[in-house]
Structure 1
Amino acid sequence: MKKLINLAFAIFVFVSATAQNIPIDFEESGNGADWTWTTFENDSNPPLEIIPNPDPSGINTSSTVAKFTALQSGQPFAGCESLHGAGIGNFTIDESNSIIRIMVWKPVISDVGIKLVTETGWSKGELKVANTKVNEWEQLTFDFSTVDHENMTYDQIVIFPDFSSRESDNIIYFDGIYGEAAMPSSTKDLEKIEVRLFPNPATDAITIQSASVIRSYEVYSVTGEVVAAKKSIENPTINISDLPKGIYLLRAFSDEGTVMKKFIKG
């Protein structure tokens, strides 16, 4: 009986240490809206506001979003953070949660930073990705599989919405942290670059050929699930040997825009 109790306790501790409250969508029945968020290094530190979506169009038509006012007098690394031991919960990073996406609406081009922190305040530092659009919603992708987490357990997420020196106060909206990959809302971005995939159909690997420099890609199943992603591409060949047979969509990102291409895994 004692062994069974110890085993049950160990399972409870493991589950508790890996529970993660995601996606953070700021909806009344979801995650984030009723969490304690603290702003920092932003001069007078105006609080993070949870407000109706001011621009429910494009790729983000959700009802509620977070509003962060980045003050000109604030530090470039001004941001907001969830409360240790609450909100996002206690979790480790593995293949299932190493990709963090966030929707942002910004009036300027600048880096967005995301940092994960342990209960003791230890962190591997933030990852930064710049938005490419202004005054419309855009989804950014952060690949935390590139970090050696050393099996650390995190209990806090930190967001730097406007990681830059400022010439004015900037109002930033963000939403959908750890959300699903967004599909493009129109074809205007898809016409900016040309991409060819070969061979197509393919069985083991497929190669991206383009005159543009492809910075990253995401592969979607027909149901919209991301089944493969890579932030930095040195080798344009994608290993698809582990994917089931079927039809897939590749979304490629370059400095000129994005493009979607269909391919078949035979």
Structure 2
Amino acid sequence: MEDNFLKQETTMFWDDDLFDWQLDSKKHYYYNGLVAVDPMPSHTLHLQTFPNPATAEVRFALVGDGEVLIFNSSGKTVLSQHMSAGNSVLNIANLPAGLYLLTARQGKDLYVGKVAKQ
């Protein structure tokens, strides 16, 4: 009994006494669908953040205008902001302490950095 989301896996072993295959284990898996994600751009570059660790704000330099996103350790977007070229400052005072992934997308380039919030 299989459909698009239900899969079955069986493991068999050979029984020399019975001269036949015997069931060793049977597992059922249910997939609840597929999740689409954007492919990573071909140009992934390092984004240097400072201070790191940070308490209230984090600074970084952008070559051009870009969309900046901060993700928590669960992958959830916790901050999204459009930033202008030059030295940029993000206020992270309201974020709980932890490790965050910071991304800045400028055209086809994706800059990625990590910041620790104390």
TM-score, normalised with respect to structure 1? 0.28
Q: Give the counterpart letter for 1:217 in structure 2.
A: V
Equivalent residue, structure 2, for 1:224: 75
Q: CA 1:207/1:243 → structure 2, altered by over 3 Å: closer, same or farther? A: same
The percent of aligned pairs where both chains have the same amino acid is: 24
Show the 5 A alignment for 1:200-211: 200-210=52-62
Question: Which runs of 4 or more aligned residues in structure 1 lie more than 6 Å from their structure 2 counterparts after TM superposition?
Answer: none
Query: Contact 1:248/1:265 (CA < 8 Å) preserved in 2?
Result: yes
CA radius of gyration, larger in? 2
1:259 aligns with 2:111: yes
Q: Give the counterpart letter for 1:222 in structure 2.
A: S
Aligned residues: 85
Q: CA deviation at 1:253?
A: 1.0
Determine which structure has the larger helix proportion and give its number: 1
Q: CA deviation at 1:216?
A: 1.3
Alpha-carbon distance in 2 for matches of 1:232, 1:261: 16
Q: CA deviation at 1:251?
A: 0.9
Equivalent residue, structure 2, for 1:213: 64
Q: Give the counterpart letter for 2:115 in structure 1.
A: F
> Which segments of 5 or more consecutive residues in structure 1 lack a partner in the other structure?
1-60, 64-175, 177-181
> Which segments of 5 or more consecutive residues in structure 2 lack a partner in the other structure?
1-32
- Secondary structure of the residue that 1:224 maps to in structure 2? coil
Alpha-carbon distance in 2 for matches of 1:200, 1:232: 20
Q: CA deviation at 1:236?
A: 1.1
TM-score, normalised with respect to structure 2? 0.60
CA offsets 1:165-201 (integer angstroms, 9 cap, x no match): xxxxxxxxxxx7xxxxx5x64573313xx42111010
Q: Give the counterpart letter for 2:64 in structure 1.
A: V
Query: Contact 1:213/1:255 (CA < 8 Å) preserved in 2?
Result: no
Alpha-carbon distance in 2 for matches of 1:251, 1:205: 15
Query: Contact 1:214/1:252 (CA < 8 Å) preserved in 2?
Result: no
1:188 aligns with 2:39: no
Query: Contact 2:50/2:58 (CA < 8 Å) preserved in 1?
Result: yes
Equivalent residue, structure 2, for 1:248: 100
Alpha-carbon distance in 1 for matches of 2:114, 2:71: 9
Query: Contact 2:73/2:100 (CA < 8 Å) preserved in 1?
Result: yes
Show the 5 A alignment for 1:1-266: 62=34, 182=37, 185-186=39-40, 188-191=42-45, 194-210=46-62, 212-233=63-84, 236-266=88-118
Alpha-carbon distance in 1 for matches of 2:82, 2:61: 17
Q: Give the counterpart letter for 2:43 in structure 1.
A: D
- Secondary structure of the residue that 2:96 maps to in structure 1? coil
Query: Contact 2:42/2:108 (CA < 8 Å) preserved in 1?
Result: no
Alpha-carbon distance in 2 for matches of 1:62, 1:239: 35
